[in-house]
Structure 1
């Protein structure tokens, strides 16, 4: 059977509570996966795995990590037991070495919720191998974009490549007890600007993140926006898959790059 080319994705993974209360994002992720050929494997860059240099999970079956506190007990009982793929991990490491991108194997890292929360809605059977890769904290936006370009070749092997972060992410502004509260202008205008630039293939305007409108209000730290730069590198043709807000200012956008 001929392998099909899959897109690159940016997914706003949101609160861990979305595993129990999917809001709008859960059904959107389900629709997205149902409209794609089933991946042979999935690669996810996680905003919750920052490292000094790029790391690739080589674990055979990583543990499900509940990397949060103070949530209902039912959330801690959730497992996402998808296997890893040491063989694919070695292929990724070789690909990176060919491109002079330093990277290290990590066989002990558990799977954080930026990986398993969206995949729980997309592929609940957990029957597809999943490789988690880290977010190098010192990498520039352009370096992450280039990393996405290097990894894009894997899409041709029917491998789904995902950057998992959040289009807006300022936890201090969230209305935790009201998931449907109104969205502040600084959040809506920020994501509108980013989408507009991506729709017009102005990647440089997005990679120049320091000059994005309301950047400090939306991203007091950059780790949840940075996976977008990686996803952008995986494909040139942008499409908006989903747009919503949760708890006021938490953007739940999903972007596709072909």
Structure 2
């Protein structure tokens, strides 16, 4: 049975860079068993009702501006799977999760930056999923939990976002390797709680974690919450393992967590 993952997608520039993190993701894709399909919750697709994609072939969305032209030439022509989309719908119906089917939206950079590094050939069906920042962490976790059976069918579940992601304090011009202490403290608190699967504390991260207001700002928690969807998919095992952690621009986290 495949584990589920939380994978940071970083800044869009990551898609055309060669560094420690991109090399790690490429190696991860080579070492994992090839999944039957990928279900990916992206921080860049927010909705008040859970969205499930039903796409024949995705267009590539460039949901950013002011970056080098090379980024806008990238195409990731992943296909969908009506069969897996139907399975997800059936699981949501069984678990009482409200959802809507989307037949138009392409893959945003929260999805294709990660997928392109893991599986550059775009030869694995993808089901793109939205996240709902207005739900409680427990509700987000339970949505992931409702899909846990997919892992038994060799379907890979990924939450794509970032554990520390605050664009108001990121130092894009400063990439010399120094990490802000507050960002490291938040991420280490998160690690200690994830290692013990301490859901009580994790669901109250915004009041318990050090510097939570900086790491996960009140104006936007969408990059942090995909971790709960990924965790929920591994509720049966309740085990987490930090595979990689690094930082860019002072405090932008690149972390990969494996669950289950």
TM-score band w.r.t. shorter chain: over 0.9
Alignment match of 1:214 (pick from 206, 211, 215): 211
Give the Cα separation in 1 of the matches to 2:163 and 2:246.
Answer: 10
Deviations 1:97-116 (A, max 9, x none): 11000001000011100100
TM-superposed deviation, 1:179: 2.4
Range that drifts further, 209-218 or 188-197: 209-218
Give the Cα separation in 2 of the matches to 1:57 and 1:182.
Answer: 39
Deviations 1:175-228 (A, max 9, x none): 212323411111000000000111122122111122222111111121111101
State the match for 2:239 in structure 1.
237
Q: TM-score under structure 2 normalisation?
A: 0.95
Give the Cα separation in 2 of the matches to 1:86 and 1:244.
Answer: 37
TM-superposed deviation, 1:23: 2.4
8 Å contact from structure 1 (residues 58, 131) kept in 2? yes
SS of 1:173's equivalent in the other structure is coil
Q: TM-score under structure 1 normalisation?
A: 0.96
State the match for 1:119 in structure 2.
115
Deviations 1:97-150 (A, max 9, x none): 110000010000111001000111110011000110001232110001111111
Q: How many residues align?
A: 254
Q: Are positions 1:176 and 2:178 aligned together?
A: no
8 Å contact from structure 2 (residues 78, 122) kept in 1? yes
Note closer, same or farther for the CA distance 1:119–1:214 as it changes in structure 2 (3 Å cut): same
8 Å contact from structure 1 (residues 51, 135) kept in 2? yes
Q: Could you say what the CA RMSD is over the residues aligned between the two structures, in angstroms?
A: 1.0
8 Å contact from structure 1 (residues 53, 137) kept in 2? no
Q: Are positions 1:250 and 2:252 aligned together?
A: yes
State the match for 2:46 in structure 1.
50
SS of 1:172's equivalent in the other structure is coil
8 Å contact from structure 2 (residues 162, 253) kept in 1? yes
State the match for 1:38 in structure 2.
34
8 Å contact from structure 1 (residues 175, 181) kept in 2? no
8 Å contact from structure 2 (residues 133, 221) kept in 1? no
State the match for 1:196 in structure 2.
192
State the match for 1:186 in structure 2.
182
Give the Cα separation in 2 of the matches to 1:165 and 1:121.
Answer: 15
Structure 1 residues 53-202: aligned runs within 5 Å: 53-202=49-198
